[in-house]
A and B are shown apart, each in its own frame.
Chain A
C-alpha cells in the first residue's frame, strides 16, 4: 500500500492553489506553443527558465512539465485541423485526423485525441509511480545496438502502415534517410550534401520538412480544388464523438497507451516510434484496414494515446537516473540543478515531495489539458469555417514566422517553400510523405547508434544479432516485412481487391 500512500502524499504537494495555478499556466502555455507552428517546447522552456528561478523547485518543475505535455497536445490540434504536425510524434495523427476534419468530423477527432491522451496519461502516471525503478533497468539495457535495431523496426512500421504500394513506401523511407544525411558527418565533422551552404551544415530541420510536405502541399492541393472547402464547411457535424466513436476507439486507446508507455521509457525517438507503432498495430488488427488513412477514428486515438503515454514515461530515466532522454528533459535537469536538486536515484528518497509531487502533477496536468481543450474544440473547429481565401494566407504567414523563429534563419523559410513543392509532387504522384518523415526523424539516430555500436564492438557486425534484445527486435522486423510482402508474393489478387477502392 506504499504506492497509494505515496500518491496521496504527492497529491498533497501538487494540489496547493499555487501549484495548481502553475500547472494550469504551464498547460495553457504549452497548448498555445503547440498550436503555433514552429515554436517548440524547447525554446519556450529555455526562455521561461530564468522566470522559474524565483519559484519553489516543485512549482517550477510542475510548470515546465505542464508546458511539455501541453505542447504535445497542441501539436496534434494543428495536425488534425490544417495537416501540419507540430511535433514529430503527431505526424501519424495527421493521416486520419485531417481526413476526419475534411469529412466535417474535426470535433470528434480533437475530442478523442484529448480523451485518449488523458486516459493514457492516467495509466502512465500510475505506471511511473509503481514501476519507475524496475523499468529504469530495462531502459539501461538499451545500448547503441538495441537502439539501432529498434530504429530498424520503426522504419518497418512506416512501410507497413502505408496505405498504397509497399514499394513506394520503401522508396519514401529511403528518401527520408537520404535527406537526414544532409549535414555534418557525426564522427569526422565532414560536410555531407551541404554544398558549402552554411545553413545546411547542420542538416535540415524536422519542422521545415514536416511543414512543407504536409502543410504547404495540403494548401496547394486545396487551392487547386476550390469547391471542396465549401463542402467541409457545410459538413461540420457534431463537436463531440458519438457513442459509436467511443466504442471504436476504446480498444485503440488501451493498446496505444500500453505501447506508448513501453516505448516512452527508451530515450530518443521513443515517442515518435510509439505513435507509428500504435497506428501500425491498429491497422494490422483491424477487420477493415482500408479505412485507415481515410478518416478512421482509431487512427487518431491510438497514436495520440501512445505519444502522450510516451511523453509521460520518458520522465522515468530522468527521475530515476538523472539521464535526460531528450533536449527538453535536459533543460529540466538544468532547472533541477539550479534549485539544488541533483537528479538521480536519490531524488526519490531525498526529495520525496518533488518526486511524488511531480508525478501527481502529471496527472493533474493531463486533467487540465482535457479541461482546457474540450471547450476549445468548438473554437478550433470554427476556424475551419473561416473562408479559405483568408485562412490560407494566415496559415502560410504563421508557418513562415514559426519556422523563421526556430533559428532566426531566413533560409529555413525558403526551405519550407521548397519542401512544399516536393510535398505537392508527392501527393500528386501518390507517394505518402509519412514514411519519409519517419525515415527522416530516425535516420540520424540510426546512423549514430549504428556507428557507436560498431565502434564499441570494434567493427563486429554480429553484435546486432548476438545481443538478445537487439536480435529479438530485428527478428520482429523481419517477420513484419514478410507479412507485408506476403500478399505481393502470393500474387496480386488480394492486394488489388483491397486497394482498388481508392
Chain B
C-alpha cells in the first residue's frame, strides 16, 4: 500500500512538474544577493529585477544575505528549494574566487547551481598619478624594473579581485609593485589621487570620472579588450597577452531547477538587459553589457568553466592557498 502510494505520488509529481514549469511563475520570485543593499551587485540586481516584472508577470524580490565574502548568500541559495522561486544573483567572487580562497567552502559553484545567464561584466583599470612619468603599462613596468620596489599600488585586498590582479601583474611582468590594500576602496582611490600611492587598480566605474578630469591617468584596462566607454585606453593584454581579470554577475539557479524554468528566466533576463533604460544606465555604473545580448544558459556555463580554469591557474601560479 505504502509503495503504491509513493508510486502514485511520483506519477502525479511527474505529471505536475512540466505544467508547473509552464505556468511558472505563480508568485513573486526571489533573487538572493550575497552583498548588502547598495553594494554594486545589489544595484545591478535591483535594476534588472524591476525590468523582469514585465516579462515574468511577477515581481522579483531582492533578498540581501551579505557576509563572509559572499559565502553566506551563496550557501543560502545553494540550499534553496529548486522550485524556480529562489535564484542567486551571483558575483564572480562567489563562483570563481571563493573556491580557491576559502577552505572547506560550504557550497560547490558547479554542483550546487545551474547557470541561467551571464548578466554583465565590470572591468578594472590600472591607473597612475599624473606625476608618474609612465604613460603606458609597458613604461610603468620599465620604470619599476629600473628601481624595483619603489612604486606603490592601491588595491582592494590581497585576496580580492584587484589584489590578485596586481599580484598576477607582478608575476607576469616580473615587477615588484608594492600592494597597498584598503578595506574601503575610496581611501585607496584618494591615496592614488594625492600621489601617496603612485598607482592603483580600480573598477572602471569609480575611476572614470577622475580619469576624465585629469586627476588620474589610465594606463590600461585589466582585460583583453578596450572598453566601449573608453576606446583610447589600451587593454593590458596588448602588453601582456591574455591578461584578463574582470568581475561579473551571473544569475544561477539551485541545481535541480527544471530546465524549462531556467530557459524561461534566461529569456526574461535577456529581455530585461535589452531594455533601453538598462542599456543606458548600466555602462554609466561601470557594468558592461554584451552588445550581442545576454547569451544562452549554455554560454553562461561555458564562460563559468573558463573563469574557473583561469582562477585555478592564477592562484596556483601565485601560490595562494585556500584558508
Contacts and interface: CB of A to CB of B under 8 A. Distances in A.
Interface of A: 42-43, 45-47, 49-50, 53, 140, 143-144, 184, 186-191, 198-199, 201-202, 267-268, 321-325, 327, 330-331, 334, 337-338, 340, 342-346, 407-409, 444, 448-449, 452, 455-456, 458
Contacts of A458: 178
Nearest to B159: A189
Contacts of A201: 67-69, 71
A49 B36 CA distance: 14
A268 B184 contact: yes
A325 to B, nearest CB: 8
Interface size class of B (residues with CB under 8 A): 35 or more
B186 A53 contact: no
A186 B38 contact: no
Interface stretch (B204-212, B230-238, B296-304): B204-212
Contact of B36 (A42, A184, A188, A344): A42
A53 B50 CA distance: 11
Contacts of A323: 186, 189-190, 193
Given A345-B213, A456-B152, A458-B178, A43 B38 contact: yes
B284 A338 contact: yes
Contacts of B183: 186, 444, 448
Given A46-B46, A186-B183, A338-B281, 4 more contacts: A47-B37, A198-B71, A322-B210, A456-B180
A188 B180 contact: no
A409 B47 CA distance: 24
B42 A409 contact: no
Contacts of B208: 342
B106 interface: yes
A456 B187 contact: no
B322 to A, nearest CB: 10
Interface of B: 36-38, 42-43, 46-47, 50, 63-69, 71-72, 75, 101, 106, 152, 157-159, 178-184, 186-187, 189-191, 193-194, 196-197, 205, 208-210, 212-213, 215, 277, 281, 284-285, 323
Contacts of B68: 198-199, 201-202
A340 B69 CA distance: 31
A25 B284 CA distance: 27
Nearest to B194: A140
Given A334-B285, A346-B213, A455-B152, A409 B38 contact: no
A342 B178 CA distance: 30
A319 to B, nearest CB: 13
Contact of B181 (A53, A186, A343): A186
A64 to B, nearest CB: 11
Contact of B67 (A191, A202, A321): A202
Contacts of A444: 183
Given A43-B36, A140-B190, A268-B187, A452 B180 contact: yes
Given A338-B285, A452-B180, A344 B69 contact: no
Nearest to A327: B38
